[in-house]
Amino acid sequence: MMVRGSQQMLGKKAAIVLVLGVMGMLIFSVFWQGSTAVVSPLGKDFVVILDPGHGGYDPGAISSKGVYEKAINLQVANMVKEMIRPSGVKVFLTREEDMDFVPDGVKGKTTKKQIDLNYRIDMASKEKADIFVSLHVNATTAGRNSGAETFYHYKSESGKRLAELIQQELIKISGMNRRIAKPGDFYVIKNTSMPAVIVEVGYLSSVKEQKKLQQTWYQEQLARAISKGIANYFELP
């Protein structure tokens, strides 16, 4: 009986050790996955530059009600950043407040704009970004247009793929126009060394859309769609 009891005791201890070992591995796995950046096939961390368009001296589009594009751009960019970061992707904003990158004393609208954009482009290069996503809000004089649209440089196949993946998610938002990604020759996507897109999240000139663009719940929908498009580009789960 003593031998049998000892064998049973040893069996129980072994089972407990096995269970604790499995639990330990599971806990380690969770913490490891949660703290490790997603790594690309090239063996480097994915890096995303989010560019909230305009800022500082440059308000961007302004609605008839005094709503500034630059504010909405920053609000959506911050939401996208928070939604992407849990995946382990490194995310940098070109600006985190209402500011521009034009030195004091510089004059001329075109010169100031080019200096500002070049700073953002240079930042993407310094951070060795995999993609550059510039966020904007559109406007027209007629005020009849609405809906989000995404642009890529016509010479960039990778930029086209990124734009299409983001646009595919944006059109899933309830009530969104079913636009397609479009080629363009805009300065900021033309002069980046990595795939780059401009996402126009809507039209401030549309009275109906302007109201939605100011709402947190709608900005979150836009940010979620953009985040999903970026995740799909990197083929993240």
Q: State pLDDT tens for residues 65-116.
A: 999 999 999 999 999 999 999 999 999 999 999 999 999 999 999 999 999 9
pLDDT average, residue stretch 140-157: 95
Amino acid symbol at 14: A
* Distance (Å) of CA 207 to CA 67, 119, 223: 11, 33, 21
| Residues whose CB falls within 8 Å of the CB of residue 68, separated by 6 or more in sequence, listed in order | 59, 60, 61, 62
Q: Tell me how far apart the alpha carbons of residues 150 and 166 are, in angstroms, rounded to a whole number.
A: 7
Task: Work out the average pLDDT over 188-211.
Answer: 97
pLDDT at residue 221 greater than cutoff 60: yes
pLDDT confidence band for 143 (50 / 70 / 90): confident
CB atoms near residue 168 (< 10 Å): 16
Compare 13 and 154 and report the one with higher pLDDT: 154
Mean pLDDT rounded to a whole number for the chain: 86
Amino acid at 169: E
Whether the Cβ atoms of residue 100 and residue 58 lie closer than 8 Å to each other: yes
pLDDT at 2 over 60: no
CATH superfamily, domain 38-233, is Zn-dependent exopeptidases (3.40.630.40)
Q: What are phi and psi of 45, to 5 degrees?
A: -70, 145
Please tell me the predicted confidence (pLDDT) of residue 81: 98
CB 68 within 8 A of CB 62: yes
Q: Give mean pLDDT, residues 125-142.
A: 96
The pLDDT-based confidence of 44 (bands split at 50, 70, 90) is low
The pLDDT of 198-211, averaged and rounded, is 96
How far apart CA 148 and CA 146 sit, in angstroms, is 7
Q: What is the structure's pLDDT at 17?
A: 42
Distance CA 19, CA 101 (A): 57
Domains of the chain, residue spans: 1-36, 38-233
Q: Quick one: angle between helices 216-233 and 157-170, nearest 10?
A: 140
